[in-house]
Amino acid sequence: MLVVMDRGATPEQVDKVVKIIESRGMTARPIPGGDRVSIGILNNKGPVDPALFLGLSGVKEAIPVTRPYKLVSREVQPDDTLISVGNVTIGNGHLTLMAGPCAIENETQAMTIAEKVKEAGGKIFRGGAFKPRTSPYTFQGLGEKGLQILAKIRETFDMPVVTEVMDTDTFDLVEAYADILQIGTRNMQNYSLLKRAGQSGRPVMLKRGMSATLDEWLMAAEYIMSEGNSQVMLCERGVRTFVRHSRNTLDLSAVPVIMRESHLPIIVDPSHAAGYRDQVIPLSRASVAVGAHGLIVEVHHKPDEALSDGAQSLYPEQFEALAKWAGSVHALLKE
Amino acid sequence: MLVVMDRGATPEQVDKVVKIIESRGMTARPIPGGDRVSIGILNNKGPVDPALFLGLSGVKEAIPVTRPYKLVSREVQPDDTLISVGNVTIGNGHLTLMAGPCAIENETQAMTIAEKVKEAGGKIFRGGAFKPRTSPYTFQGLGEKGLQILAKIRETFDMPVVTEVMDTDTFDLVEAYADILQIGTRNMQNYSLLKRAGQSGRPVMLKRGMSATLDEWLMAAEYIMSEGNSQVMLCERGVRTFVRHSRNTLDLSAVPVIMRESHLPIIVDPSHAAGYRDQVIPLSRASVAVGAHGLIVEVHHKPDEALSDGAQSLYPEQFEALAKWAGSVHALLKE
Amino acid sequence: MLVVMDRGATPEQVDKVVKIIESRGMTARPIPGGDRVSIGILNNKGPVDPALFLGLSGVKEAIPVTRPYKLVSREVQPDDTLISVGNVTIGNGHLTLMAGPCAIENETQAMTIAEKVKEAGGKIFRGGAFKPRTSPYTFQGLGEKGLQILAKIRETFDMPVVTEVMDTDTFDLVEAYADILQIGTRNMQNYSLLKRAGQSGRPVMLKRGMSATLDEWLMAAEYIMSEGNSQVMLCERGVRTFVRHSRNTLDLSAVPVIMRESHLPIIVDPSHAAGYRDQVIPLSRASVAVGAHGLIVEVHHKPDEALSDGAQSLYPEQFEALAKWAGSVHALLKE
Amino acid sequence: MLVVMDRGATPEQVDKVVKIIESRGMTARPIPGGDRVSIGILNNKGPVDPALFLGLSGVKEAIPVTRPYKLVSREVQPDDTLISVGNVTIGNGHLTLMAGPCAIENETQAMTIAEKVKEAGGKIFRGGAFKPRTSPYTFQGLGEKGLQILAKIRETFDMPVVTEVMDTDTFDLVEAYADILQIGTRNMQNYSLLKRAGQSGRPVMLKRGMSATLDEWLMAAEYIMSEGNSQVMLCERGVRTFVRHSRNTLDLSAVPVIMRESHLPIIVDPSHAAGYRDQVIPLSRASVAVGAHGLIVEVHHKPDEALSDGAQSLYPEQFEALAKWAGSVHALLKE
């Protein structure tokens, strides 16, 4: 933290800032400049709240210098985290394709899609049993019945499954069935849920909030890790901007920045970012090329009849072509 | 919903859209235009998902025409909702001032501030007992001890209290103490929490999500109302934009638009929008002038020592001046 | 500027940064911290480009500490700028109402509206003669004929006029007729136009760019001032965000921040921010209450027939009521 | 355009809307729905202004249905535009790499970089002679001297050059030297400049405005085409969002959407989007993979000493590797 004083700040005002810093057990280092004083803060444990200083008279700004996160940081753990689920490894050097329908609608639908995903080269099956929906009047998922279908898919196709867990009330239930627990966009800062996920033995896929900064996202991952669960992967799924031609704006620059700041794997979900099938394929290609550790995409054999998000679901043959392409480009990246 | 076809859409493609509409029990009304066909959807109950059509060949766009919400809509209930808490009325024609510290830190702090809030004309006391914090390493609130202090304030000063409820696990506890249950920005789409709030007998103050559209916000209120609780007030607290000179951008146009679309009261929180004391006062004035039903602001007698958000807390004398000014302007508005 | 080094930066990397700073005639002051070094830059004249350092190995971040602007800054000129146009004064302590149609359509229309604006208490008449339009196929203004009508209004009603100047080619022409030259949102960073405006003897009203930060906006004003014209006023007119219920999001926090950072007057344009008449009135009230030095609003006696922006134009009687209200609230603010 | 009436709109209010539509020579087609009337507008030439209806009593919304642009539209011209400059072809099926320094600093710098760009496979050389800069106090380009250096590069290396034209005053000069005229982000809606570019015989590269929608961007291209110049290519360079870890957010979904809506080639500039070298390479890979017709990137042999934007300039060897990779992926895309 660097506290920048007003040009005409008095020595007493500078002193007050120094005292506050020292009273919290940190070190204050005033830096007299040409026309104003700044005060550096050293030896802080954890983040310093700018609000401590911003209201004081004579203070112009409080500029954070170091990052607020710790366990998720590459400075703390230089080597990439690798996550193993069944016989699949996620992270450094691997490109993991996850695919399936938005929602599990019934056993036939799910099994049909799972077979095609498996054949096309998908490694992990996705499908929602509990669905967070903007409207209380739309299909909310099959619940436990959906989880049972997921379990059958895992056994039948030897494919781990990822599904969303929406709240602490149903956590034990979802945890009993899923291989990877997904925490959705709307719950990225649901701290009770994050803490519960931190106590789980399952890997967690944490989706980025609709308008979360990377710091906020990594801090949400820090909540999970600080409770003891280090198997966390991040998932970029687009952010909300003024743009309207896609549902959200896929922020691919997040991939290299997360890789520089953190050791956690990062997956991209182009389906929810795009919202329209015609954009999903090019954005999937871009996500592989930017260097993500994996893709999670929606696939449906009859998207026109899907109960949710049909417009963004790929046909199985489109997913197959994408998977082949992704493999070629991933190989080029490793050259 | 209006489904707009491509210029060269075939009669078969138009037919398919019509069939899908009719298969869902709605009425399709094709509108042949100069150079393309559009298809209106009538007699739908509740929202129609654009995704049903967006993926079909020959379909260019699916444009929602009616709003997805129902119970919160002024079209369903033309008269303003009035909410009574103790001897305070919130809504149509009233301007309700809510004030207090960001977090309850201890009894002395809270009682000192409450006394000043009461004297200055504040009608409802605010204070956090459970605090959602971006970092797992910062002060998370006093929990039940904080709730007990709030109860003491209600009794001592005959002032209802509003405090945040963060999850379903602690819901019963918070509900037992609070007069108004606040659902925070990060939880605006925590549907499990919304449903639980809908089963409560307490009024709920629903803060707008960081990047929520008015439709999403009203749909979140619809979740609460659809479970049976009609005592909902909305709270605008700034949204995330590219702007950096304030913590968030206060969207005051939301106030007249919400008032046109919904019968629910709307409160403004300029403290969290601004982030800096010097902006809180002018934005509070603006919030009254725009016509909001109330303000919720942070007040602290020693903001330099506050455990959270000191930089945005008003001094008691500032709140007093603001309350006086607000009264004058509110009177002008009613002339 | 503060250059923050990586945790493991070598002494050679630190040295390189120091050398670059010194080679540009500035002073480098390394600040050894607990776990990383930062380097402060002192004695810089004008802004330092972060790009000088961001690409160097061992550099983590380059954080600007001081503001890049000079002439527009309150640190350089503590007293408010006052601008006089005819018998109207704009700035500190005054609330100036500017009103008129979006575009001058013909003499009858303009004279009719001008009379009503004058009667209602408007001090400056606004009206476009050259209109920047998104589509090349829509009405682009009357050009010089419109300017002549503006001149007639000034003489008939003894009211200064403000109108937009779109390019250097028509600058001399517009300058010959207008009392205040408006530079529009889309031209905020049209540097050739800004420089020409800086050589004018007329006051300039500089609208904020659609997504301009306050620094960029003030730097655009700096362009004008650096050419010798110190009669600059700023105009907040809403910024582009994800929000869709208003045309733009009016950023009222810009008003107190500009007032703190700069001595230039700041006007608010709620018409272009809102886009809809029903929002213009409450946002106008809010703009007065937040403390702006003036309002510029669209008024039309037959908005249904307006050639542009009819939906956001107030009826004359609405403007009259607004002007009266604004006077009362402005008086309250000065108490 | 679809005009949606309020639920309780009277027949008179509906009539008024119909009359306004018909008075403008268009056809009104009322669509009586279950609980409200909508009115479709047919036979309009060019865009209809929603403002015509939004202010009328009884009108709830006016929803544009067709796109406002014409000449740029794929509906008007189904086949891709191909642009030839010297022996280089831009558009359908080609991947064109453009590279060079942000600014031409001197002949040695420019010639050194041009040689390396040519060797690495760059087809077009980029370099600024007139630079739009946020601050009036920073390096503004070499002007005509820079253009002369560009001409020398074209002759020496048989490589067409692209450079920015900032205003109508210097248009003739830049046009005399450049092979492709770039219109920058800040000038995307400088209509005087667009019209002048429309009268040029040179191809134009139109960068997307900082917060432009695709409609606004295509309408800006329509300005150029409507003056007679059909050699227009678009350039996505990132948009302004709340994100701060990159200078702008690269909106790669714009590429497939532009390709669907328009026949014009689309190029991506990852350098200005990213702002940091470490992001430029992965985002360049993503831009190729998403299917863009070309890349324009900054390359500098001594980025630490660059007069502008050094932090985002690639080293020549990085560009060489990128060009090779791009070729391989482009080949995969054409399979």
Is A262 at the interface with chain D, CB within 8 A?
Answer: no
User: What pLDDT is stored for residue A34 in this prediction?
Assistant: 62
Angle at the Cα of A32 from the Cα atoms of A29 and A33, rounded to 5 degrees: 130
Lowest mean pLDDT among A158-172, A205-219, B99-113, D22-36: D22-36
Across the interface, whether the CB atoms of A253 and D242 are under 8 A apart is answered no
In angstroms, the CA A91 to CA A294 distance is 8
Under the banding of pLDDT at 50, 70 and 90, the label for residue D54 is confident
**Per-residue pLDDT at C34:** 62
pLDDT at D261: 94
The pLDDT assigned to C88 comes to 97
Cα–Cα separations (whole angstroms), residue D20 to C11, D28, D56: 75, 9, 10
**Burial of residue A176 (number of CB atoms within 10 Å: 0-12, 13-18, 19+):** exposed
Q: Scan residues 174-213 of C and list those with Cβ closer than 8 Å to B.
A: 211, 213
Q: How many C-alpha atoms does C241 have within 13 Å on its Cβ side? A: 30
Distance, in Å, from the CA atom of B144 to the CA atom of B147, rounded to the nearest integer, reads 5
**Tell me: the pLDDT tens digits for A110-165?**
999 999 999 999 999 999 999 988 888 888 899 999 999 999 999 999 999 999 99
pLDDT for D33: 65
Q: Which of C38, C214, C243, C245 should be substituted to probe chain A, the one whose Cβ sees the most A Cβ atoms within 10 Å?
A: C38
Output the six-digit token pair for B315.
């001094």
Would the CA dihedral through D256, D261, D265, D266 be positive or negative? Answer: negative
Of the pLDDT bands very low, low, confident and very high (cuts 50, 70, 90), residue C294 is very high
Q: Which chain A residues are closer than 8 Å to C36 by Cβ?
A: 66
Question: Do C328 and B325 count as a contact with CB atoms less than 8 A apart?
Answer: no
DSSP 8-state secondary structure symbol assigned to residue C127: -
Q: Does the predicted TM-score (pTM) go above 0.80?
A: yes
Cα B113 to Cα B153: distance, rounded to the nearest angstrom? 10
Interface test with B, best of D6, D66, D239, D246 (most B CBs within 10 A): D66
Residue D34's pLDDT is what?
A: 62
- The whole-angstrom separation of Cα A299 and Cα A97 is 12
Buried b (16+ CB within 10 A) or exposed e, A188-220: bbbbbbbbbbbebebbbbbbbbbbbbbbbbbbb
How many Cβ atoms are within 10 Å of A299's Cβ, its own excluded? Answer: 29
CA A220 to chain B, closest CA, distance in angstroms equals 7
- A20–B52 C-beta distance less than 8 A: no
Least confident of B37-51, C92-106, D263-277: B37-51
A81-105 pLDDT per residue, tens: 999 999 999 999 899 999 999 999 9
For the segment C82-87, the average pLDDT, to the nearest whole number, is: 95
Q: What was the pLDDT predicted at C89?
A: 97
Q: Euclidean distance between the first and final Cα of chain A, in Å?
A: 41
With cut-offs at 50, 70 and 90, classify the pLDDT of residue D170: very high
* C209 min Cα distance to partner chain A (Å): 15
ipTM: 0.90
Do A278 and D291 make contact, defined as CB atoms within 8 angstroms? no
Q: Is the pLDDT of residue D43 over 80?
A: no
Is B172 an 8 Å CB contact of chain A?
A: no
Helices (H) and strands (E) in chain C, counts: 11, 14
Question: A22 or B123: whose pLDDT is higher?
Answer: B123
Q: A52 falls in which pLDDT band (50, 70, 90)?
A: confident
pLDDT 10s digits, C149-204: 999 999 999 999 999 999 999 999 999 999 999 999 999 999 999 999 999 999 99
> Does the pLDDT of residue D335 top 80, yes or no?
no
pLDDT at position A41 over 90: no
Distances (CA, A) of D259 to D192, D230, D234, D252, D262: 27, 16, 11, 12, 5
| Partner residue facing C134 (CB), from D216, D276, D308 | D216
Distance from CA of C278 to the nearest CA of D (A): 9
Contact in structure between C269 and C237 (CB atoms under 8 Å): yes
Which SS3 state, helix, strand or coil, does residue C41 take? Answer: strand
Judged against a pLDDT cut of 80, whether residue C47 lies above it is answered with no
Predicted pLDDT at A43: 73
pLDDT value of residue A305: 79
Q: Report d(CA C53, CA D8) in Å as an integer.
A: 63
pLDDT at A112: 97
With a cut of 80, say whether residue D224 has pLDDT above it.
yes
Check CB contact under 8 Å for B257 and C251: no
Q: What pLDDT shows up at residue A276?
A: 86
State yes or no: pLDDT of D55 exceeds 80: no
**Cβ-based contacts of A216 with chain B (< 8 Å):** 134
CA D7 from chain center: how many Å?
42
Taking contacts as CB-CB distances below 8 angstroms, the residues of chain D near A250 are 252-253
Q: Do B2 and D2 touch (CB under 8 A)?
A: yes
Specify the pLDDT at position B34.
Answer: 62
**Per-residue pLDDT, A139:** 83
Nearest CA in chain C to D50: C311
Write the CA distances from A293 to A89, A92, A262, B192, C211, integer angstroms. Answer: 10, 7, 13, 32, 34
Band the pLDDT of C123: cuts 50, 70, 90: very high
- Which of A35-44, C30-39, C187-196, D135-144 is most confident? C187-196
The beta-carbon neighbor of A186 closest among B189, B222, B276 is: B189
DSSP structure string for D144-209: HHHHHHHHHHHHHHT--EEEE---STTHHHHHHH-SEEEE-GGGTT-HHHHHHHHT-SS-EEEEPP
Q: Are C324 and C122 in contact (CB under 8 A)?
A: no
Interatomic CA distance for residues A93 and A293, integer angstroms? 7
Mean pLDDT over residues D121-148, rounded? 92
pLDDT at residue D268 above 70? yes
C61–A42 C-beta distance less than 8 A: no
Residue C48, pLDDT score: 79
* Chain B: residue whose CA lies nearest to A215: B134
Mean pLDDT of D45-67: 78
φ/ψ of A231, rounded to 5, equals: -90, 75
Interface mutation vs chain D, best among C167, C169, C229, C232, most D CBs within 10 Å:
C167
The pLDDT value recorded for residue C56 is: 83
Residue A155 pLDDT: 97
Within 40-99 of D, beta carbons closer than 8 Å to C belong to: 46-47, 49-56, 68-70
Q: Using a CB-CB distance cutoff of 8 angstroms, which residues of chain D are in contact with residue C186?
A: 189-191
Tokens of A278: 């015609």
Q: What beta strand segments (E) does chain D contain?
A: 2-5, 27-32, 37-42, 59-63, 82-85, 88-91, 96-100, 124-126, 161-164, 180-183, 204-207, 232-236, 266-268, 294-298
Could B276 and A136 be called an inter-chain contact, meaning their C-beta atoms sit closer than 8 Å? no
3-state secondary structure of D68: coil
Six-digit token string for A188 = 């990225």
CA distance A223 to chain B (A): 6
Mean pLDDT of chain A: 92
Task: Point out the residue among B55, B189, B193 whose CB comes nearest to the CB of A304.
Answer: B55
Chain C residues close to B288, C-beta within 8 Å = 289
pLDDT at position C275, please?
Answer: 85
Computed over every residue of chain D, the mean pLDDT equals 92
As a whole number, the mean pLDDT across chain C is 92
> By C-alpha distance, which of B170, B117, B115, B118 is closest to B142?
B170
Chains with 3+ CB–CB pairs under 8 A to C are: A, B, D
- Cβ distance D312 to D280 under 8 Å? yes
Query: How confident is the prediction along chain B (335 residues), in pLDDT tens digits per residue?
Result: 788 888 888 989 999 999 888 888 888 877 766 677 888 887 776 667 777 887 788 888 887 767 778 899 998 899 999 999 999 999 998 999 999 999 999 999 999 999 999 999 999 999 999 998 888 888 889 999 999 999 999 999 999 999 999 999 999 999 999 999 999 999 999 999 999 999 999 999 999 999 999 999 999 999 999 999 999 999 999 999 999 999 999 999 999 999 999 999 999 999 999 988 889 999 999 999 999 999 999 999 998 777 777 788 999 999 999 999 999 999 999 87
Task: Retrieve residue D15's tokens.
Answer: 């009539």
